[in-house]
Structure 1
Amino acid sequence: MTPDPIARFLSAVAMLCLHMAASAAPCVEPPADPANTYDAPHTYAKLAPRYPAIRIASAALPVDVGRVADLTYAQLGTRCLKLDLYLPLAARADGGMPVVVLVHGGGWRAGFRAEFAPMAVRLAQHGYAAVAISYRLSGEAPYPAAIHDTRAAVRWVRDNAGLYHLNPQRIALAGGSAGGQIASLAGVTGQLDRFDPGAGEGAVSSAVQAIVNIDGLSDFTAEAALKYEDDPAKQPSAAGAWFGGRYAEKTALWAEASPIRYVRPGMPPILFIASAQPRYSVGREQMAARMTQAGVANRTLVLPDTPHSFWLFDPWLQTTVDAMVAFLNQQVPQR
């Protein structure tokens, strides 16, 4: 595609966004929370002494990737839920680009969608449209609001597939840390309407065709998970704040939110990418074994000598993207 068509495309998208903004009811995002410090710079300051060779992955846009920012994918009263869309700028004459919806981490109570901008850029360079979403954090809305929001973002992708040349039949969910658990749960429950208030007769599906869980829990109820997630010294723990109570108080919710509970034939295949810190992916091995027994494709990549949040940094981000692309090329192939 030459620069002129690229410019025309981005101009058309910008005009459409302005029209949509003008015609929609006013809505806002909450103000920035100074306590929300789960981002690459703060994490780098913690990790650099042990890993001096790492560097924060760049989110700069190369010439072959376009970005459409601050699109509202859902509105709850006056509350906007927004996403950023990253698009390959190569011409496509087929059924559209496969899509990866990216869910940020932060212990269900922190984090920013910009965390996944570097990954989104690199996925777009491989021919995948990437959608980085914000969702309601636990301080605003407890479980299962984040699952509802993620499913709504998938539906937005399908609703707008024609506008952005996306393939509505090739959508994957991916996330890191808490976002990995959210993406996994939203993906494995795609057939269950109770996790999706927008479901119903005539509604566009929010099911996905593949999942990438990066260092996210698969079982909240396992002893190894409860050691950290239900630590009595934390009042509350990150998971306890999300569920609105400790495990003994909200046992059913802790179990319901565990992706391992939904293994079944026909579920989406999953790529597990894990750090060298096993506490963050408790239940992964057991879930993968159950998936294999059910005949569902799965793959696990454990990156040696890595901290949690490795995907924010080079050189690990490129390894992560390469593994994702290889997996997605099999499960949601480009045409």
Structure 2
Amino acid sequence: MMPLRYIFSLALVCLHTAAFAAPCVEPPPDPANTYDAQHTYEKLLRDYPSIRIASAALPVDVNRLGDQVYAQYGDRCLKLDLYLPLAARADVGMPVVVLVHGGGWRAGFRAEFAPMAVRLAQRGYAAVTVSYRLSGEAPYPAAIHDVRAAVRWVRGHAGQYRLDPRRIALAGGSAGGQIASLAGVTGHLDRFDPGAADSAVSSAVQAVVNIDGLSEFTTEAALKYEDDPRKQPSAAGAWFGGRYAEKSALWAEASPIRYVRPGMPPMLFIASAQARFSAGREEMAARMAQAGVASSTLVLPDTPHSFWLFDPWLQPAVDAVVAFLNRQMPGKG
């Protein structure tokens, strides 16, 4: 007899096979793209000798549906991986967390968030890790468009996978934290979502989690690093297609803090001990409070950037995400 997980996975994959019939092409591997857990571990081990790469092994109570195509531009396909708790109640849709990887807008892999996705699934959340077009392929705001398309795919497939379309959160780390924040706080603006014109399915979300990502590009602290003249170009400069002096309007437009308003999604900030990576966080939280919007902040002491890739820090981050989302997206029934 085939294992239950295999039967469940096979049935779901068969349902999805015909969604995109055109040829599907992904760019070849980029040898310069080294933002992953192993390379980061090698850089951090000397200063943090007790860290361990967090496991992405699939436990028996979680099912993974990999390589689902959520958007296609010509023959270029964008994919996501869906992690589902097998013990979810059949009568209540699962809340969802869509996870956006980091890498300075020009690098990284969706597998970065597989360990967090597994642990979220074990806590009753469906978790989705997404790939998006990096700056070398498509500059700002393509990544925002892609993430909004991923949210629409999730909501559009809610019935198929027993997801709750009323409880979808966006989360990300580093550049992914900024992307998730901007995509999340602009859910009311179709200019960040070209697909809105052709779909009745919303790409708005109900909560946002920004893990060590910028909230404001134009502060002195952010510009010191993101517009460093010694870098030609800097990571942000490559994404925007120019330095701050050349593309100041885009640098400002991409700052999530500019979109604080009553009724925006609540936000959890999880920060490392490296303050430069979360520039604008405190001011954004203050503006949200003035607008009557809930926010919460967790700063993990003595942590490097990219702490979510490693134990012992991943679990406290997951615990904070679950506690926050349980408050802000409570279930029905």
Normalised to the residue count of structure 1, the TM-score between the two structures is 0.97
| Partner Cα distance (1:48, 1:262) in 2 | 38
Aligned to 2:195: 198
Which of 74, 77, 98 in structure 1 is aligned with 2:71? 74
Deviation at 1:187, TM superposition (A): 0.2
Contact 2:33 2:108 in 1 (8 A): yes
Matches within 5 A, 1:152-191: 152-191=149-188
Measured in 1, the distance between the counterparts of 2:29 and 2:36 equals 13
Partner of 1:61: 58
Partners of 1:202 and 1:108 in 2: CA distance = 27
Structure-2 residue corresponding to 1:222: 219
- Residue in 1 aligned with 2:7? 8
Give the alignment partner of residue 238 of structure 1, picking from 231, 235, 238: 235
- Among 268, 273, 276, the residue aligned to 1:279: 276
What is the distance in 2 between the residues matched to 1:77 and 1:205? 23
- The one-letter amino acid of 1:174's match is A
Amino acid aligned to 1:85: L
- Among 104, 107, 112, the alignment partner of 1:107 is 104
Shift of 1:28: 1.1
Asked whether the 8 Å contact 2:90–2:162 carries over to 1, the reply is no
Q: Which letter does structure 2 place at the counterpart of 1:175?
A: G
Specify which of 107, 129, 133 is matched with residue 130 of structure 2.
133
Shift of 1:16: 2.3
1:25 is matched with 22
Distance change (3 Å), C-alpha of 1:91 and 1:214: closer
**Structure 1 alignment gaps of length 5 or more:** none
Q: Match for residue 148 of structure 1?
A: 145
State the SS of the aligned residue for 2:276: helix
Give the residue type in structure 2 aligned to 1:222. T
Q: Which amino acid aligns with 2:286?
A: A
Three-state SS of the structure 2 residue aligned to 1:199 is helix
Q: Percent of pairs identical after alignment?
A: 80
Number of aligned pairs? Answer: 331
Alpha-carbon distance, 1:11 to partner: 2.0
Give the aligned residue type for 1:241.
A
Listed one character per residue, the Cα deviations across residues 110-162 of structure 1 (whole Å, up to 9, x for unaligned) are 00000000000000000000000000000000000000000000000011111
Superposed displacement of residue 172, structure 1: 0.1
Displacement of 1:18 after TM fit? 3.5
Deviation at 1:8, TM superposition (A): 3.1
Q: Structure 2 unaligned runs (5+)? A: none
CA shift, 1:331, in A, is 1.0
Kindly state the Cα deviation for residue 14 of structure 1 after the two structures are TM-superposed: 2.4
1:292 aligned residue (268, 285, 289):
289
Matches within 5 A, 1:297-308: 297-308=294-305
